[in-house]
Structure 1
Amino acid sequence: MNNKVWAVVPAAGIGSRMQADRPKQYLILNNQPVIVHSLQRLISHPLIEGVVVALSANDPYWPSLNLPSHWPIHTTLGGEHRADSVSNALEFLKNLTQRDPWVLVHDAARPCIRHSDIDSMLQQLSDDPVGGILGVPLSETIKRVNADNTIEATVDRTGLWRASTPQMFRLRGLAEALTQAKQCNINVTDEASAMEFMGLVPKMVAGHADNIKITLPQDLALAALFLQQQNNGEAA
């Protein structure tokens, strides 16, 4: 039995909240673009067979990355939305394998993903009929506010998690779920939402809180700190 999995990285976004001169996945973190860190974490995992990256048309930054030639990376055209990019990558992957492998969809701007968290997902989900996602239980007090930023209520955080990536589902099941959601004009912001739309119930796998997504300018410094801490004695 082949227990290898594939990874998909949607990387066609522009990251407007960073207010930078380039998409956030190409900002420099510890002397390398953010996406290089993310790809290295995926490719170096022994059970990840390869990675399909969905890029925007005429992406001027990707060709300049000088990635190692032996890295098993394939590229395809992304789309207007994240779900479109993931769908395109899955269709590309269908042409690479006759199997129906597990696919780990991972954000290009999450460079601190640990191998131990990927291991947890593979161990907990490999026999699951649906799949699941990595996340962290909410620990902060949660407030609901109105349009004027006036607090309306304190929300019970019991059972609330912060969803992250990777999100792990079977290739063909996820592709079908994303297609169905698009045909019904359902805006899904992550892969689990598409599976939920199909009436399926993904699992949540607890991960580390340092698996942050680079979204705001200050996140770069925080990611640099987390990478340093991981490299100073904590296995990725």
Structure 2
Amino acid sequence: MTTSVHPVASNYWVIVPAAGSGKRMGAEIPKQYLPLNGKPIIAHTLENILSWPGLEGVIVAIAADDCEFSSIAAAQDPRVFTVIGGAERAQSVLAALDYLSARENPATPVLVHDAARPLVALDDIQKLLAAAPMALLAQPASDTIKQSQPGEGGSTVVRQTLPRDQIWLAQTPQKAPLGLLRDTLMRGLENDPLAITDEASALEQAGYHPELVAACRSNFKITHPADLILAEALLRHRAGELSAGKNV
């Protein structure tokens, strides 16, 4: 993590890939549309994004057969646009980047944010906007990290313990200039698509080293049913803090 000072990004765009099915949640509907405190998860995420300072617009990549998104109140905001996404996250992000490339300067800052991370804190967004042109929110590892290997009888055993002070858990948003991100993502998908698990991995594959910006634990991705319970509790807590006049 660096401590250098950079101009705060403004007039930036946010891309939200939301064309996936969220299979690990085990639900009958795509994960982003599961109810969270009375609204779909993605509705909370979009309302959060639309409150960020300096925002120019949001592009949501949805599935071709998506009939739900247009019914969300935040989808009616004039700053929200949609494109048809792909089967994989990287394909959805690239579709949104293609849309933006026809309309914006290649140097335009772009933030890519997961539809299922509704609880990212404004303080962390402000830190990310003030970070290097290529940067991502991440959580320094606090647990001991074990690398695994196959064991006997189909079991999994410890191979070694990894140095915890070098391990970060990647979050979103992840930030990069529009043209650079589009080019590196396209090359990454051509060269080694399985290695492109997020935007930073495409930048890394091209030889870049995005800045790590430490973020709050509350910026977790809703992936399993238990995550919904935690997210609901945190939303209620934040609502209480706001009613008490505190910044959250």
For normalisation by structure 2, the TM-score amounts to: 0.88
Alignment of structure 1 residues 71-110 onto 2, 5 Å: 71-98=78-105, 100-110=107-117
Root-mean-square deviation (CA, aligned residues, Å) is 1.8
Q: Alignment identity in percent?
A: 39
1:228 corresponds in structure 2 to 236
- Give 1:192's aligned residue: 200
Q: Choose the corresponding residue for 1:57, options 46, 59, 64.
A: 64
Distance change in 2, residues 1:230/1:71 (3 Å): farther
Matched residue SS, 2:110: strand
Question: Aligned equivalents of 1:191 and 1:68: distance in 2?
Answer: 24
Mapped partners of 1:72, 1:173: distance in 2: 23
| 1:179 equivalent in alignment to 2:186 | yes
Cα offset, 1:99, TM superposition = 5.5
Q: What is the match of residue 166 of structure 1?
A: 173
Residues 114 and 235, structure 1, Cα contact 8 Å, conserved in 2: no
- For the residue of structure 2 that corresponds to 1:144, the secondary structure is strand
Aligned to 1:133: 136
Instruction: Return the letter of the residue paired with 1:205.
Output: V
Q: Which residue of 2 aligns with 1:143?
A: 146
SS in 2 for 1:145: strand
Give the aligned partner of residue 160 of structure 2: 153
Equivalents in 1 of 2:219, 2:67: separation in Å? 27
Aligned twin of 2:4? none
- Structure 1 gaps of 5+ residues are none
Is the Cα contact below 8 Å between 2:188 and 2:205 reproduced in 1? yes
Structure 2 Cα separation of the partners of residues 22 and 122 of structure 1: 33
Q: Which moved more, 1:218-227 or 1:95-104?
A: 95-104
**1:30-67 CA-partner distances (Å, limit 9, x unpaired):** 10100011111111112111100001111122133243
CA gap of 1:145–1:32, structure 2 versus 1, over 3 A, is same
| Preserved contact between residue 43 and residue 71 of structure 1 (Cα < 8 Å) | no
State how far apart, in whole Å, the 2-side matches of 1:96 and 1:120 are: 27
Give the TM-score, by structure 1 length: 0.92
Counterpart of 1:117?
124
* Paired residues of 2:131 and 2:211 also in contact (CA < 8 A): no
Structure in which a larger fraction of residues adopt helix? 2
- Pairs aligned (count): 232
Q: Report SS of the residue matched to 1:6.
A: strand
